[in-house]
Amino acid sequence: MSEAFRAGTAAEMSPVGTLDRREAVPALVGNPQDWLIVAGLAGTAKDTAAMCEPEANYFACAGVMGGAVAMGLGLALARPDRRVLVLTGDGELLMNVGSLATVAILNPPNLSIVCVDNGHYGETGYQKSHTSLGVDLAAMASGAGIAAVRSVSGADGIEEAGRLLREANGASFVLLKITPDAPPPVIRRSLDAALSKDRFRAATLPAG
């Protein structure tokens, strides 16, 4: 096969990040209790469970790849009284990148999205994702029309990006570029979505 048709030969290779997700994600999110959190499958589900447990202010997926941003959107529209945070990975977001366009046209002021980008499909053996091969998800978020976008690749950018997530007047998006060499936290969590749903609602819905 001609080299012209091989993935990665046409696009310039993107440098992978250097941040350790086990430090960078909690630093960016701050107090997890300030948020209602939806996490995509795999790495970000573990990041989120490790931050939030034993509290139940999060719903983490273990399937339905590509659904996290849209879930966060429905939650944000339902709960204008709370700030909603979506934590998703590069592979998860790439599966439904159009959801950034849907978020942008609604532009809910209480919805913040963090894409934890390790440039790889960590759950399936660390095959390179498109973001290792030139695709820039922060540029795609900007192109979708989300005004508040940051790309963070060093510890010095975390504080300002964290403020943006909390204070933006519309939907916000932070691409957090992390190293693929540091795995997500190890934590046991329930894979029962019905239990997770009921637990989340009991913990977060107003009484009555």
Partner 1 sequence: MADWQEDLYRVLKEFDVSQVSYVPDAGHRVLIDKSLADPEMHSVPLTTEEEGIAMLAGAHLGGARGVAAMQSSGIGNCVNMFSLVKNGLFPMLVLVSMRGDFGEGNPWQMPMGQAVEPVMEAMGFVTMRIDRPEDVEGAMRAACTMVFGSGQAVGVLLTQKLIGAKAF
Asked if 49 touches partner 1 (CB under 8 A), the answer is: no
DSSP letter for each residue of 141-181: HHHHT-SEEEEE-SGGGHHHHHHHHHH-SS-EEEEEEB-TT
Q: Which stretch binds partner 1 (CB under 8 A): 45-53, 132-140, 149-157, 200-208?
A: 200-208
Among 35, 121, 173, 200, binds partner 1 (CB under 8 A): 200
Residue 36 makes contact with partner 1 by CB under 8 A: yes
Should residue 56 be labelled a site residue for partner 1 when binding is judged by CB under 8 A?
Answer: no
Query: Binding partner 1 by CB under 8 A: which of 52, 61, 140, 158?
Result: 61
Candidates 123, 141, 139, 131; CA nearest to 86 is 141
Of 34, 45, 8, 24, give the one whose Cα is nearest residue 177.
24
Q: Which is nearer to partner 1, 44 or 196 (CB)?
A: 196
Interaction of residue 203 with partner 1, rule CB under 8 A: no
Please give the backbone phi and psi of residue 24, each rounded to the nearest 5 degrees, phi first: -70, -40
Residue 94 touches partner 1, criterion: CB under 8 A? no
- Decide whether 14 or 96 has the Cβ nearer to partner 1: 96
77 sits near partner 1 (criterion: CB under 8 A): yes
- In the complex, the smallest distance separating the C-beta of residue 84 from partner 1, rounded to whole angstroms, is 8
Site for partner 1 in 154-183 (CB under 8 A): none
Q: Does 48 bind partner 1 (CB under 8 A)?
A: no
106 in contact with partner 1 (CB under 8 A): yes
Residues of this chain that bind partner 1 (CB under 8 A): 36, 38, 59, 61, 63-79, 96, 98-99, 101-102, 105-106, 193-194, 196-197, 200-201, 204-206
